[in-house]
């Protein structure tokens, strides 16, 4: 057995053997000069899958979202976000640092914004206040335990955005997980958004990289922003080659991750200290709240690690993520570890 079963995140997935071969064989050029054929192929492929005109390969999801916010905003403007979203909480304040806009965080039901609340938080034009210009959505919602945002929410938010002349950016880091769980095609979610960022480096197992897709003129501008942020990459075809495999081969298997996460959740939810509704584990992420009379969260994590299980402490709880590099045996091992630590 491997020494550690790593459930901290789907970002720990290693490139597949096929990806390693593709990296070795990738046709490359200088992407800043615009002639890396493999990057171009990936950008066209990503745009086509999302039903958009153009795509941009970026080094990280954070850079994709940074550019996504920057390309739709100007100073003195405000962006509506869900209060636990990744863009607002986990991307080192690029909204203020790079775009110089203020975020307007709104509460939600498990990541699902109430469209009427969004409407009532759009600022009326005034000399005193920022001007609302962008709404950011996230699907699946990471900090809400991989919750799937319903397509109806997208439709209603789009309607409101159009009414007020706002743009909609989707942080779709795990949009393929959402699609696999809901049966709604990724294109359908993307249809209601002006731009979409998604990650190749999470469940889709690429070593590095995310995509930003939108209309052609906006992506031309995004390309300049990427260069300004230091994200222009030269022989990036070696990485794009992995991205092409992610899109072609790694999407359908996300279902296996969802099944494993659900099985793990069902086996541990009623152990002492754990608060978790296994029915809320819709995709590959489990977040449970932990409050035990004798064991703190850091102690739980340490004892899990002694038994070969890596998990992550978050917001008063613990996060476990299923992905390509944890199989049924790893799940069994995690279940056994939790039982040994908590059931005694």
Ligand X SMILES: *Cc1c(COP(=O)(O)O)cnc(C)c1O
Residues that bind ligand X (CB under 6 A): 60-62, 65, 86, 138, 142, 171, 173, 199, 201, 210
The distance of closest approach from Cβ of residue 90 to ligand X in the complex, given in angstroms and rounded to an integer, is 7
The distance of closest approach from Cβ of residue 6 to ligand X in the complex, given in angstroms and rounded to an integer, is 16
The distance of closest approach from Cβ of residue 40 to ligand X in the complex, given in angstroms and rounded to an integer, is 21
The distance of closest approach from Cβ of residue 302 to ligand X in the complex, given in angstroms and rounded to an integer, is 25
Contact between residue 137 and residue 161 where contact means Cβ atoms under 8 Å apart: no
Closer Cβ to ligand X, 5 or 9, answer by number: 9
Closest CA to 202 of 140, 113, 287: 140
Closer Cβ to ligand X, 73 or 142, answer by number: 142
Residue of minimal Cβ distance to ligand X: 61
The distance of closest approach from Cβ of residue 210 to ligand X in the complex, given in angstroms and rounded to an integer, is 5
Question: Roughly what angle, to the nearest 10 degrees, separates helices 61-72 and 216-228?
Answer: 120
Closer Cβ to ligand X, 174 or 260, answer by number: 174
| For residue 17, cis peptide bond before it (omega within 30 degrees of 0) | no
Say how far apart CA 283 and CA 320 lie, in whole Å.
Answer: 11
Label residue 7 left, alpha or beta by phi (over 0 means left) and psi (-120 to 50 means alpha).
alpha
Say how far apart CA 204 and CA 184 lie, in whole Å.
Answer: 18
The distance of closest approach from Cβ of residue 107 to ligand X in the complex, given in angstroms and rounded to an integer, is 18
Closer Cβ to ligand X, 72 or 338, answer by number: 72
Closer Cβ to ligand X, 43 or 337, answer by number: 43
In the structure encoding, which two tokens stand for residue 19, read together?
Answer: 């990806």
Closer Cβ to ligand X, 295 or 310, answer by number: 310
Q: In what order do the strands lie in the sheet with 167-171?
A: 54-58, 210-214, 195-199, 167-171, 131-138, 77-82, 102-106
């Amino acid at each position: 057995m491997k020494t550690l079963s790593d459930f901290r995140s789907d970002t720990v997935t290693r490139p597949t053997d096929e990806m390693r071969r593709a990296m070795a064989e990738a046709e490359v050029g200088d992407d800043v000069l615009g002639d890396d054929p493999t990057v171009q192929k990936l950008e066209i492929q990503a745009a086509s899958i999302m039903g958009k005109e153009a795509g941009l390969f970026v080094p990280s999801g954070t850079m994709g979202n940074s550019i996504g916010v920057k390309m739709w905003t100007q100073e003195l403007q405000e962006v509506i976000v869900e209060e636990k979203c990744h863009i607002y909480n986990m991307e080192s304040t690029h909204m203020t640092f790079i775009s110089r806009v203020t975020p307007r965080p709104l509460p939600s039901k498990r990541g699902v914004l109430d469209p009427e609340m969004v409407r009532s938080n759009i600022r009326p034009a005034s000399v005193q206040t920022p001007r609302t210009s962008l709404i950011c959505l996230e699907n699946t919602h990471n900090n809400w335990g991989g919750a799937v945002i319903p397509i109806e929410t997208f439709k209603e938010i789009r309607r409101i955005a159009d009414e007020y002349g706002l743009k909609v950016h989707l942080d779709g880091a795990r949009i393929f997980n959402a699609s696999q769980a809901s049966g709604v095609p990724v294109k359908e979610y993307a249809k209601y958004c002006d731009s979409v960022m998604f990650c190749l480096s999470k469940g889709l197992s690429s070593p590095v990289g995310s995509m930003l897709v939108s209309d052609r003129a906006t992506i031309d501008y995004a390309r300049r922003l990427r260069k300004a942020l230091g994200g222009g990459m030269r022989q990036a075809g070696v990485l794009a080659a992995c991205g092409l495999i992610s899109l072609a081969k790694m999407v359908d298997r996300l279902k296996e991750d969802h099944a494993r996460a659900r099985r793990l959740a069902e086996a541990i939810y009623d152990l002492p200290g754990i608060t978790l509704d296994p029915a809320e584990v819709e995709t590959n992420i489990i977040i449970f709240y932990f409050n035990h009379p004798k064991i703190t969260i850091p102690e739980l994590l340490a004892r899990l690690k002694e038994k070969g299980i890596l998990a992550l402490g978050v917001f008063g709880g613990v996060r476990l993520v299923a992905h390509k590099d944890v199989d049924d045996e790893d799940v069994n091992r995690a279940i056994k570890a939790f039982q040994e630590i908590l059931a005694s």
